[in-house]
Amino acid sequence: GCFVFKPSTKKRRLSDKTAHDFRTTSNDSEDTELRFVTCQSLWNQIKSETEQIQENLNKQLLDNLVSFLSRSHSDFQKKTTEWTCRMKFREIPTAALVLGVNVTDHDLTFRGLSDVLQDNVTPYVALLEAKDCPGIKNLMQKLMGQLMNCDIDVDSLEDEDCVQVSQNRIRCSMSSLISWYDSVTKKTHSETPSKKRNSSSRHWQSPPVVVIFKDMESFTTKVLQDFIIISSQHIHELPLVLIFGIATSPMIIHRLLPHSVSSLLCIELFQSLSCKEHLSTIIDKLILTSRFPFKLGEKVLQVLINIFLYHDFSVQNFIKGFQLCIVEHFYSQPLSVLCCHLVDIKKRVYSLSHDQCENIRRLPSFRRYVEKQGSGKQIELLTNDSFLKEETEKLLEDLHVYHENYVRILRCLHVFTSSLPKYPLGKQIRELHCACLENRVWETEEYESSLQLARMLNKTDLVTMLQQCVEILMSSSGKEFDRAVEKLKKFLTQFQNLEEASQDRDVSISPQKELQKKTDLYHLQKTLLELKESRRSKKVTKFEMLRFEVVDYIDSLVRRYLVPAEDRTLHEIVYFNAAAVLREHLNAAPRTALHTALNNPHWYLKNQALKCDGGGISNKAPDICIVYKLHLECGRLINLVDWLEAFSTVVMAAEEPNADAASSDQVDDVIHARFIRAVSELELLGFIKPSKQKTDHVARLTWGGC
Amino acid sequence: MSRPEGMRSSRRSLQVKFVPDEDVLKHISDDAGTKVRKDKAQLSVSVKRFVKKLENISDNEPQEILEEKNYVAALGICAQDPVGNGSNISGGEVYSFQTPKRSNKMAELASELAQTPEQNVAPDRSKCPEKMAKTPQSSKLSILNCLCFSNFMWAEIVWKCNLKKKEFVSTTPYRLRKRLAAPDPYLESESEYSASCSEEEDEEEQKEVNTILSNQKTPAKTKAASTPPPRNSLAKKNKEQKMGNLVEEYFEAHSSSKVLTSDRTLQKLRKRRLNQQTLHDLLKNTPLAYADEIRDLNQQHESLFSKWMLQLHLGFNIVLYGLGSKRDLLEKFRTSLLQDSVHLVVNGYFPSITVRSILNSITEEVLDHIGTFRSPLDQLEFITKRFKEDSSLELYVLIHNLDSQMLRGERSQQILAQLSSLPSIYLIASIDHINAPLMWDQAKLSLYNWLWYETTTFNPYVEETSYENSLLVQQSGSLALSSLMHVLHSLTLNARGIFRLLAQHQLEKKDNPSYPGLSFQDFYQQCREAFLVNSDLTLRAQLTEFRDHKLIRTKRGADGVEYLLIPVDDSTLTDFLEKEDEDV
């Protein structure tokens, strides 16, 4: 079944090839080279950025783990012989690492972990996966293989005997492991000082042996139990530390291991960062920033987030989707060559060819822009390439500025909306971002209600929010927000003054209060009436006035800066909006496609004869569709003879007008053959299977029918 | 909308009402865009409500549709859909519940399908093909279609009732055959009838109420025109239909584990079984339907080839799904783009393919490594190491039917996934089985790093099904015979005689369907008489040998007697005896 084909010609280099693909594939040959390079460099930037983020996020966890490791075997190093310590030695120090359900992201975490450990703690780290260890023997084999190999790496292929050892596959037992450990540690002690410094500066003396079980849930309990029991016997001689990677909950340890075994472990729990926070950070750093010229449209972002939330919680997949977006964008949009950093724009705009200029003119957003211009400028824009280029450059710069401002104001708005009760515009900034991208946010009901709520905020909240906003706006480099900052600061001082004023008033009121203390009924009545009067007349306090002003000002900022990207001219160049493509490739529904093809072949085969109103199909449909339709009418078992009869009825009816001349027997055979083919195709697709319950029957594997 | 249709089951007039609704809907609402979709859903809700009043369907339906819509919207599926994948179908349509089935349902549908185009669909289209989509007239037409259609159903009911009256119980296919042979008088009357009725309908307003009313009128007229139908049964049916609701139907569908199907077998059909060769020839001679459209479809897919290459190089792997064989497509991809590079083609549908053989061909032929490995895991490790060491090595792997019987196991998928995760191995595979995506959990999916491409080709699965021991193809044909011969030739003369005896006996009894086999005692007697054995111990030893080679099967009967049977069909056995005679 397998065939290997080898070419006789020389192979081309990989990188050339990829670029070549890009070139040949894009239907127009404009700037493909440059586009590809831009795409690659952008992706590499983003990739390194995400890795950086991941590393930073895991730092805390890794630090905790390292300190745990150092604590766990401090006694071993001291070689204490106290009785309590010895009792403790029966227990293997264990770190239970709760990582969450996003299994696909764990790989990166573990890789980071083992790197850190090997750099800082111990060279002896073994990563075990359940699929490699169906039995205790395999486990030991794998463990020793990894440990001894890493030993070679550290001691620089000098120790040939070690290589020999791993090659000869000496019997894998705990005792051989211990003797290996002894020899290795002794060697490092006896080695030349220079070397020793090299290794011991990074690692501790008698470094612990760390065994990581990547996916603890998938290990068979027997293997785990055996391993733990055996190694607990040897814990005096071998400083072993276990790390369990747990996807579900720490309870699983007790479910997998009986008490007698789990009592041999000294477990400490570590919790990794939740994947949602991880995603928020990624979105914050990749999308809500003006560092990268490439942007995601609203629908695309929605699809990516939904795949994350509804399907896998996997940040890795989110990034993969992001990568696909980049590739698709640069691949399908010839103008994406302009999707670059601000510094390059000028050069690139002026090197555009005439065709590319035409492409610009064809952009819907650009056409809208042209229509708004005066007639003289319109003609210039549509006929003069160099004028167009100037204009394009200006527009692109505008777009860039728009982004920077957008992000700031979005963050400011988020400060407000994230503290409102019930979060009408969403709790996360990504929800707010989507809402703003989708349409004019100030026209939505949610925005209206959140403004209403914002008008009811108390003063301390409002002041802290304003301070946050000022911080956000101050951090921007441009001068765009100088006035806004000033204004906000003015608000703040006004609040401050208000406070003082109210204190003053408090002082003035205080005599009143004193009055209340000791008074007769008449006076009391009088003061109460006065108070009532004053309350009624004082409809809007100064504070409320100010609050309205603040909210209105924020509103004006929003209206000015949070214009949806689709309203901006030339947004097509930097925004990727083909959500359908993305969904088709990442979140496909094979069953639905089959369903459509079988029930409605006209969807694919554009032939009039196949068109049929109503739910049914015409009798001229492909054989498999007819057979499928017929089988839907049956229960669990289908009689092949009935089926064949029904099929031939349909097919004959469809063919009758043109083919009644042929001899009936011949036709019958052909129909029979077609039926057989269609049925076996259905079997291949998994709709039916042969059944032994009754002769000449098949069993249906799906439910229902239409 | 498919659900209510499925529920019509045994209620005839339910169907009559539903089809027009659906048609009206189809015409009022276009099929693209979110907004229209929303409208459509709302409309369907309102229409449903209306229908509900009439026929007492449970409340849940509209609600359910709305909820479904919300979920769909939440997934961002409402985004516009440029190319033809049918993904704007809701899940409820694809994964429906089990519904009660009656035995003759299929035949009815068949006759229905056979009937439709002649009656109305085809002529309508020829008259006004472009108007169908928009004009109000078209909606009227479709209502008419349904009317005719429903009339036809009524006529059939009437006709069936008549049959029952005559105490004439027949299986449906028989009825079909009869109808095909000689045009049925009732059907003729029915078609006349539909004409008159459509005239009548032209004058009336095109509302469902009217449709229903006229439907209720029509049977009455049929009565007058032809033989009087049993009125009671009709009334009873209506009543029954009113009582029916979803819950009951659900339990009806699940209550009896017994399945009622007719007892007819292929042997009674007097049709010779086709063997693989004749089947192949016959199919080769029949022209492929819609060849032009299929070619267009395939050309669309072929335009994606270079994009695939690009994405493969960027670290994605590609999986193709959709109806129709994707073998030719992949083959074309291979010949057009992979000529200059090392590539491996795996025919997953091949019945004896294993992961081992895939790995072997990589190590032996691609990496030129001689030697064996202790386990596939070791082998995989070796491959991984080699590919990591040598960055100039690259390999394209094409797997036809990654979901085939042999490769769908957990371990094989794990190994293939790990293989595909290597940066310089590019995997492009196709899947066909409806449950194929269930093979992969999150971990495997992330290893595979799939990009999904829908490539519905409508090509027949010629190669893929040729290996499958197809249901209707004459099984065990040459293969079983040759293996029989082969085994027997290595046996002693006496042993062959014993087997012959058993075979002859079985052939003599071939007309007896309840033939349990030859009892051991009888067999021993016969063998003794033919001087083939001298004690029952020798016979037993011989039988053990047969059983080891799966030549015979033993069964213990109700009386504790051992019965012997050759598990080969009669024609093969006859062939075998003939061959044996030639040899001797």
pLDDT digits (tens, 9 = 90+) for A394-411: 999 999 889 888 998 999
Question: Would you tell me which residues 171-230 of chain B have a C-beta closer than 8 angstroms to some C-beta of chain A?
Answer: 171-173, 176-177, 180
pTM summary value: 0.73
Q: Where are the alpha helices (DSSP H) in B368-426?
A: 376-389, 410-420
- In this structure, are strands B450-454 and B317-321 parallel, antiparallel, or unpaired? parallel
What percentage of chain A has pLDDT greater than the value 90?
Answer: 11
Distances in whole angstroms, Cα of residue B268 to Cα of each of A281, A642, B169: 71, 12, 19
Domain that holds residue B297: 291-454
**Is A590-656+666-700 CATH 1.10.3470?**
no
Looking at the structure of chain B, the number of domains it has is 2
pLDDT at B13: 38
Highest mean pLDDT among A526-530, B28-32, B267-271: A526-530
Closest C-alpha among A230, A333, A317, A239 to residue A282:
A317
User: Does residue B11 lie in a domain region?
Assistant: no
B227 has a pLDDT exceeding 80: no
Contact A331 B22 (CB under 8 A): no
pLDDT in tens, B554-584: 888 777 888 888 877 777 788 788 877 776 5
How far apart CA A423 and CA A410 sit, in angstroms, is: 15
Q: Check if B38 contacts A (Cβ < 8 Å).
A: no
B140 has a pLDDT exceeding 80: no
C-alpha B305 chain-centroid distance: 30
Residue pair A252/A216 in contact by the 8 Å Cβ criterion: yes
Average pLDDT over residues A195-206: 47
B544 has a pLDDT exceeding 60: yes
Q: What is the ipTM of this complex?
A: 0.84
Which of A25, A102, A704 lies closest to B310 in CB terms?
A25
Name residues whose C-beta falls within 8 Å of residue A612's C-beta, 6 or more positions apart in sequence: A602, A618, B116, B121
Nearest-by-CA chain A residue for B257: A636
Axis-axis angle for helices B12-28, B208-225 (nearest 10)? 140
Band of the pLDDT at B469, cuts 50, 70, 90?
Answer: low
Lowest-pLDDT range of A21-35, A209-223, A469-483: A21-35
Q: Could you tell me which residue, B472 or A225, shows the higher pLDDT?
A: A225
A165 has a pLDDT exceeding 60: no
pLDDT at A47: 92
Contact A306 B121 (CB under 8 A): no
DSSP B423: T
Paired tokens of B51: 């229908």
Contact A4 B344 (CB under 8 A): yes
Which of B80, B142, B323 lies closest to A597 in CB terms?
B323
Question: Would you tell me which residues 517-576 of chain B have a C-beta closer than 8 angstroms to some C-beta of chain A?
Answer: none
pLDDT at B68: 46
| CA of A286 vs chain B CAs: smallest distance (Å) | 20
Nearest-by-CA chain A residue for B313: A18
Highest mean pLDDT among A474-478, B186-190, B358-362: B358-362
Which of helix, strand or coil describes residue A697? strand
Superfamily for the A51-152+205-273 domain: P-loop containing nucleotide triphosphate hydrolases (3.40.50.300)
Phi, psi values for residue A385, rounded to 5°: -65, -45
User: Does residue B499 lie in a domain region?
Assistant: yes
pLDDT in tens, A653-684: 877 655 554 555 666 778 888 888 888 888 88
Q: What is the CATH number of the domain that holds B333?
A: 3.40.50.300
How far apart CA B514 and CA B114 sit, in angstroms, is: 38
Band of the pLDDT at B138, cuts 50, 70, 90?
Answer: very low
Contact B346 A1 (CB under 8 A): yes
Q: Are residues B523 and B394 in the same domain?
A: no
pLDDT in tens, A567-596: 888 888 999 988 888 988 998 888 888 888
pLDDT in tens, A407-444: 989 999 998 888 888 888 888 899 999 989 888 888 88
Paired tokens of A592: 């639905």
B219 has a pLDDT exceeding 60: no
Paired tokens of B113: 């399908």
pLDDT in tens, A603-643: 888 877 777 665 567 778 888 988 898 888 887 888 888 88
Q: Check if B30 contacts A (Cβ < 8 Å).
A: no
B81 has a pLDDT exceeding 50: no
Q: Could you tell me which residue, B173 or A127, shows the higher pLDDT?
A: A127
Which of helix, strand or coil describes residue A5? strand
Band of the pLDDT at A503, cuts 50, 70, 90?
Answer: low
Average pLDDT over residues B46-56: 41
- Residue B490: CB atoms within 10 Å: 9
User: Does residue B543 lie in a domain region?
Assistant: yes
pLDDT at B367: 86
Lowest-pLDDT range of A520-524, B434-438, B544-548: A520-524
Q: Could you tell me which residue, B45 or A34, shows the higher pLDDT?
A: A34
Q: Check if B434 contacts A (Cβ < 8 Å).
A: yes
Q: Are residues B435 and B575 in the same domain?
A: no
B38 has a pLDDT exceeding 70: no
pLDDT at B86: 46
User: Does residue B361 lie in a domain region?
Assistant: yes
- Residue A500: CB atoms within 10 Å: 9
Lowest-pLDDT range of A48-52, A530-534, B248-252, B519-523: B248-252
Nearest-by-CA chain B residue for A40: B314
pLDDT in tens, B13-28: 333 334 444 444 444 4
Closest C-alpha among A206, A234, A251, A211 to residue A91:
A234
How far apart CA A478 and CA A482 sit, in angstroms, is: 8
What percentage of chain B has pLDDT greater than the value 90?
Answer: 9
User: Does residue B16 lie in a domain region?
Assistant: no
pLDDT at A29: 55
- Write the DSSP assignment of A327-376 as a string of letters: HHHHHH-GGGGG-S-HHHHHHHHHT--HHHHHHHHH-HHHHHHHHHS-HH
Q: Check if B460 contacts A (Cβ < 8 Å).
A: yes
Band of the pLDDT at B205, cuts 50, 70, 90?
Answer: very low
pLDDT at A85: 57
Contact B347 A2 (CB under 8 A): yes
Q: Are residues B449 and B508 in the same domain?
A: no
Average pLDDT over residues B106-134: 51
Q: Which site among B94, B113, B321, B378 would you substitute to test the A interface, given the most A Cβ atoms closer than 10 Å to its Cβ?
A: B113
pLDDT at B60: 42
Q: Are residues B434 and B487 in the same domain?
A: no
Which of helix, strand or coil describes residue A456? coil
Closest C-alpha among B343, B374, B339 to residue B358:
B343
pLDDT at A306: 92
How far apart CA A546 and CA A466 sit, in angstroms, is: 12
Average pLDDT over residues B151-159: 41
Average pLDDT over residues A56-71: 87
- Write the DSSP assignment of B37-58 as a string of letters: HHHHHHHHHHHHHHHHHHH---
Q: What is the CA radius of gyration of chain B?
A: 31
pLDDT at A326: 92
User: Does residue B124 lie in a domain region?
Assistant: no
Domain limits, chain A = 51-152+205-273, 278-499+539-576, 590-656+666-700
Residue pair B564/B502 in contact by the 8 Å Cβ criterion: yes
Using a CB-CB cut-off of 8 Å, the residues of chain A touching B96 are 703-706
Residue pair B180/B112 in contact by the 8 Å Cβ criterion: no
Q: Check if B464 contacts A (Cβ < 8 Å).
A: yes
| CA of A351 vs chain B CAs: smallest distance (Å) | 26
Nearest-by-CA chain B residue for A316: B446
Which of B110, B289, B433 lies closest to A646 in CB terms?
B110
pLDDT at A499: 73
Average pLDDT over residues A37-43: 90
Phi, psi values for residue A315, rounded to 5°: -70, -35
Domain end marker among B454, B470, B499: B454
pLDDT at A546: 87
Q: What is the CA radius of gyration of chain A?
A: 36
